[in-house]
């Protein structure tokens, strides 16, 4: 009698446990897949994204600018513009690649808001406040030369080239 009762109780908990596990897996698949949908498409892309880190900043010498946070060589991408005159980094990607841009506002000098846009790939961040960050994935699905820019600071702009 005692045994049968505890067995029923443990079966009930087992069922609840399986239910919770199934929910967790379902949510994980849902959000995992969702995050792979680029902003210029409506179906998931099963490619490993190339991660590009860009900070929006300001310096007395160069004014407002985007600074690439890539250290060393990143496949399919080249950033120029370190030191000297104000040149925002230029990015070169292979056509068909999935790009994940991570934008962070690190404008500690003016605390201005910044955003990041590439019209042709439907890339538009919100206006990011100081130390806010946003990640946007897009598919570099057409060859050409495109401009990225900040709507708040016209001098913040550079080139994305898809080869």
81: left (phi over 0), alpha (psi -120 to 50) or beta: left
* Part of the chain binding Cu ion (CB under 5 A), chosen from 9-17, 73-81, 83-91, 149-157: 149-157
* By CB under 5 A, residue 77 contacts Cu ion: no
Closest approach of Cu ion to the CB of residue 32, in Å: 32
Q: Taking CB under 5 A as the rule, does residue 153 contact Cu ion?
A: yes
Which residues lie closer than 8 Å to 113 by C-beta, 6 or more apart?
105, 127, 128, 129, 152
Q: Which of 23, 152, 155, 163 binds Cu ion (CB under 5 A)?
A: 152
3-state secondary structure of 77: strand
Instruction: Name the residue nearer to Cu ion (CB basis): 79 or 156.
Output: 156
Q: How far apart are CA 66 and CA 89, in angstroms?
A: 7
CB nearer Cu ion, residue 36 or residue 56 = 56
Which residues contact Cu ion (rule: CB under 5 A)? 114, 150, 152-153, 156
């Amino acid at each position: 009698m005692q045994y049968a009762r505890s067995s029923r109780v443990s079966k009930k908990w087992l069922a609840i446990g399986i239910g919770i596990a199934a929910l967790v897996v379902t949510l994980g698949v849902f959000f995992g897949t969702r995050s792979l949908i680029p902003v210029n498409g409506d179906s998931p892309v099963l490619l490993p994204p190339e991660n590009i880190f860009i900070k929006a900043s300001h310096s007395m010498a160069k004014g407002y600018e985007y600074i690439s946070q890539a250290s060393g060589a990143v496949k399919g991408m080249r950033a120029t513009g370190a030191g000297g005159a104000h040149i925002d980094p230029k990015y070169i990607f292979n056509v068909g690649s999935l790009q994940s841009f991570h934008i962070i506002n690190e404008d500690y000098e003016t605390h201005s808001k910044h955003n990041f846009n590439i019209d042709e790939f439907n890339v538009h961040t919100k206006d990011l406040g100081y130390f806010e960050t946003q990640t946007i994935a897009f598919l570099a699905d057409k060859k050409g030369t495109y401009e990225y820019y900040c709507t708040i600071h016209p001098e913040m702009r550079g080139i994305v080239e898809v080869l």
